[in-house]
Amino acid sequence: MKTCFKRWSLVPISAVLLVALGSWLLAVGPRQTPVVQAQPNNEMAVDAQHTGSGDTSIQASRTVNAGSPQFNISINVTSAAGGVYNTYLAELTWDPTIVDFVSGTHLSQAGFTSCFPFTEGTFASGPLVGQPFVNTSCGVAAGTATFTGQVDLLDFQCVSVGSHTLHLVTTDEDKVSGSTIVGLSTEVIDAQVTCQEALGPVATATPLVPTPVSPGPTPLPPGMEAVGLVAGCNPVTSTYADGTPIETIAGVVGPAGNLVSLWQFDVGMWRAFSPQYPQASDLTEADLLDVMFACVDGPGAFVRPVV
C-alpha cells in the first residue's frame, strides 16, 4: 500500500486540538461553540463482526478464511455518557503482513453533515513508526451531536495466515490525529482478527454444476429452475441476459432477507453487492454465464432461467 499522507511533527495535544478545531471552523464557517464537559468512559470501539446498521453489539474478535473475499468491520461510538460533542476522529492501524485495508464508507445513519475523505499512510515517527494507518473524521457543521452507534464501515482483505489486532490509535501514540471525540474524553477498544487456512480449495471462476432443488409449495414459472444454497458462500452461474441489473439477481435469491452479499472476481479484483449497503457496492450488473458467489445466512435457493 502506498503512502499518501504526509505526517506532521509531534506537538502538544492542546495545540493539536486547537489547530483541528480551527481548521474545522474554517471548513464549515462560524458557529456557536458548544458548552461541553469531559465525561469518563466515552469510547470508540472496533466491531469485528459487523452485521448491519441495526446491530449495536460489539464483537471483540472474528475468524476469516484466508482465501475468502474481503470482510468488513465497523468503527462505533459506543458511549457519549450523557455528553455532547461536535467531531470524532478515528485512526486505525493493523499488521500489514496479515491483512490490508481496501476501502471505507461513512454510514449515513449517524447524521453527520461534514465528513473528510478516508486518508491512508504510514507512520513516519513515534511509537508506531512504519505501521500503516487510515484516518476517518466526521462532525456537525453547527450545533452538537450525541449519536452512539456505527459511524464508519471499513473493508479489509486477508493477505496471509495469522492473528492480529485492529488497533484504534490513541492520542498518546499519535498526538497529531489519534482517535478522539472532540469535547469528550475518549477511551478506545480494539478487535482481534484471525486469518486461517481455507477449509477447502479456493473457489475459482469455473462454473460448477448445481443440483436443482424443490422450489417449495409454489411452482416455478415455466422455463425456470431453483439452485439450492447452503449457509455461507455458494458459487452460482447466472443464466440471465447480458447487462441484467445486480438488484434483479439479488431479488431471486430466497427466502427474502437471506442474502448477505454477492461477489464476483473481475479483472484481478473482487467486486461485491450488499443489499444492506447498496451505496458502498461496486458490482452493478451480471452477464450471461457470469459466475459469482451468493453468500446467505441459511439454506435457500437461486432461481434462474433454464438453458
Amino acid letter, 234:
N
In a domain, 208, yes or no: no
Same domain, 151 and 262: no
Residues 278, 151 within the same domain: no
The CATH number of whichever domain residue 140 belongs to comes to 2.60.40.680
Partners of 84 in the β-ladder: none
Pairing between β-strand 114-122 and β-strand 187-189 as defined by DSSP bridges = unpaired
Q: How many domains does the chain have?
A: 2
Q: Cell 484466508 maps to which residue? A: 66
Q: What is the pLDDT along the chain (307 residues), one digit of tens a residue?
A: 444 443 433 333 333 333 333 333 334 333 333 333 334 456 788 988 776 656 667 888 888 887 777 888 888 887 755 567 778 889 999 999 999 999 988 876 566 778 888 889 999 888 999 999 999 888 887 777 778 888 888 899 898 898 989 999 988 888 878 888 876 667 888 989 999 886 544 445 555 556 555 444 468 889 899 999 999 899 999 999 999 999 999 999 989 889 999 999 888 788 899 988 888 788 999 999 999 999 999 999 999 999 8
DSSP per residue, 81-98: TT--BSEEEEEEE--TTT
Residues 168 and 273 placed together within one structural domain of the fold: no
- Report the 10 Å Cβ neighbour count for 282: 13
Asked if residue 44 lies in contact with residue 179, where contact means CB atoms within 8 angstroms, the answer is: yes
157 and 103 in one domain? Answer: yes
Q: Is residue 186 part of a domain?
A: yes
170 and 248 inside one domain: no
Q: What angle do CA 39, 146, 47 make, to 5 degrees?
A: 85
Range(s) of the domain holding residue 236:
224-305
Collapsing DSSP to helix, strand or coil, 18 comes out as helix
The rounded distance, in Å, linking the Cα atoms of 210 and 263 is 17
Evaluate if pTM is beyond 0.85. Answer: no
CA distance 256 to 79: 34
Q: Are 234 and 243 in contact (CB under 8 A)?
A: no
Q: Are residues 146 and 229 in the same domain?
A: no
H-state helical runs in the chain: 13-28, 246-251
Residues 249 and 189 in one domain: no
Residue 207 within any structural domain of the chain: no
